[in-house]
Amino acid sequence: MTSQNVQGATDGTAGNGGGICAGRVAVVTGAGRGLGRAHARALAAEGARVVVNDLGVGLDGAGGSAGPAQEVVDEIVAAGGEAVAHGGDIATTDGAASLVTAALDAFGRLDILVNNAGFLRDKMLVNLDEESWDAVMRVHLKGHFLALKHAGAHWRAEAKAGRMPQARVINTSSGAGLLGSVGQGNYTAAKAGILGLTLVAAAELGRYGVQVNAIAPAARTRMTETVFADAMAASGDGGFDAMAPENVSPLVVWLASGASGGVSGRVFEAEAGRITVMEGWRPGPGADKGARWTPAEAGEAALRLLAAAEPPQPVYGAQ
């Protein structure tokens, strides 16, 4: 379901005026709450017109309501911006395709895709049922893929028609996708898959004027409120809230803007006032016998190499 009733300013205020995303159109999935809401508001504050996608489901993906997406639209409009609500399921072909249609129908273009939608079904592996595995994979990994596929197809068509885009995709992974997280096998696998998808998409879509990056945010949202329940930041006289979702959004806005030209296929951690460029799998110590190893020789070589290698970072929640 797509709302074609564009709401907001038409007089050169936040939606059309200044800011590093002025004149650009953004789609943000899962934008009714938490990080997505913060991103949508921050993009609008920097001049973007925004399609606010959200199904309004519960933390486990159950239920649904148009309320959260419309509330964010109302907040953007109240601040002088332009936005439209979108209630399509981005983990379906029709729902993901309608994201592009919503942007084109409402604003005449699409420049930015922020993939953010997701929910949790946490259990230890031996207790994790197949339905919970499939549900989390569907919303996180399939949802990223389908939205990226349809936006990418639009931008490819634009490039082939001689209208080279300056498009940006920001995918959402997590520390679980980078390091693993005990009790979150499904979520970890989905978020790790998003990192691989980001690298492939950046390589494939670059020729069409599309940059694709990923963030691994840490912030207080519905999915992390128990983890960060006691985390208060309080650095500085201003009472800085280190876990506020709004701390992550400035990096997203910059990545979504023309100012980030040349940055693609990268992964950033963002938490509080810290931004870190993550460096993924790359060759460490190696050995080449020049012939086939015996099992004993392979084991001896592996132990020598492990002794020379950097130790891995611990999995979240590991004892």
Q: ∠ at Cα 126 (124, 131), nearest 5°?
A: 85
Q: CB-hemisphere CA count at 13 Å for 271?
A: 15
The SS3 assignment for 178 reads helix
Which residue in the list 174, 181, 257, 264 is annotated as catalytic?
Answer: 174
Q: How far apart are CA 240 and CA 232, in angstroms?
A: 8
**What is the C-alpha to C-alpha distance for residues 195 and 141, in angstroms, rounded to an integer?**
10
Catalytic residue among 132, 181, 187, 260: 187
Give yes or no: 142 in active site.
no
Candidate list 132, 181, 191, 208, residue with the active-site label: 191
How many other CB atoms are there within 10 angstroms of residue 306's CB atom? 11
Whether 260 sits among the annotated catalytic residues: the reply is no
Task: Choose among 135, 143, 93, 134: nearest CA to 113.
Answer: 143
CA angle, 138 then 58 then 68, to 5°: 105
Distance CA(4)–CA(319), nearest Å, equals 51
Give catalytic status of residue 187 as yes or no.
yes
Report d(CA 224, CA 218) in Å as an integer: 8
| Contact between residue 24 and residue 111 where contact means Cβ atoms under 8 Å apart | yes
Q: Measured between alpha carbons, how far is 153 from 59 in angstroms, rounded to an integer?
A: 31
Instruction: Name the 3-class secondary structure at 234.
Output: coil
Cα–Cα distance between 174 and 259 in angstroms, integer?
A: 24
Contact call for residues 116 and 68 (beta carbons, < 8 A): no
Q: Which residues are the active-site residues?
A: 174, 187, 191
